[in-house]
Amino acid sequence: GDSVTQMEGPVTLSEEAFLTINCTYTATGYPSLFWYVQYPGEGLQLLLKATKADDKGSNKGFEATYRKETTSFHLEKGSVQVSDSAVYFCALKFYFGSGTKLNVKP
């Protein structure tokens, strides 16, 4: 069945460091892929999405490219900020990964 697997956390980085959070998927066809974020004390919200293979989703300096060759949708940001500290969830249609907690230290 459809599912996503994402890297376990927590991930701890210093401010301005490069971020990669890995996500791989198993699916029939090429469904939409999403990254959601949950900031401390807040609900889940969409960060970015890609609706077809080779699409790149981007928002708030984050990017992820839908790669069918490697069945991946890794989340990247070139320079993280303390305000990016949150839990990030990869999702395929409406199935969610287990989440990766990111801690950014000043």
- Distance between CA 48 and CA 78 in Å, rounded? 16
Residue 49 found at the interface with other proteins (CB under 8 A): yes
- As measured in angstroms, the least distance from the Cβ of 89 to other proteins is 5
Q: Residues 6 or more apart from 19 whose CB is under 8 A from it?
A: 11, 13, 75, 76, 77, 80, 84, 102
Q: Count residues near other proteins (CB under 8 A).
A: 25
Given the rule CB under 8 A, which of 12-20, 55-63, 64-72, 89-97 is the region that contacts other proteins?
89-97
Q: Count of alpha carbons within 13 Å of 28, Cβ hemisphere only?
A: 2
Q: Which of 46, 56, 61, 70 binds other proteins (CB under 8 A)?
A: 46
Residue 44 found at the interface with other proteins (CB under 8 A): yes
Query: Rule CB under 8 A: which residues touch other proteins?
Result: 27-34, 36, 43-46, 49, 51, 89, 91-99
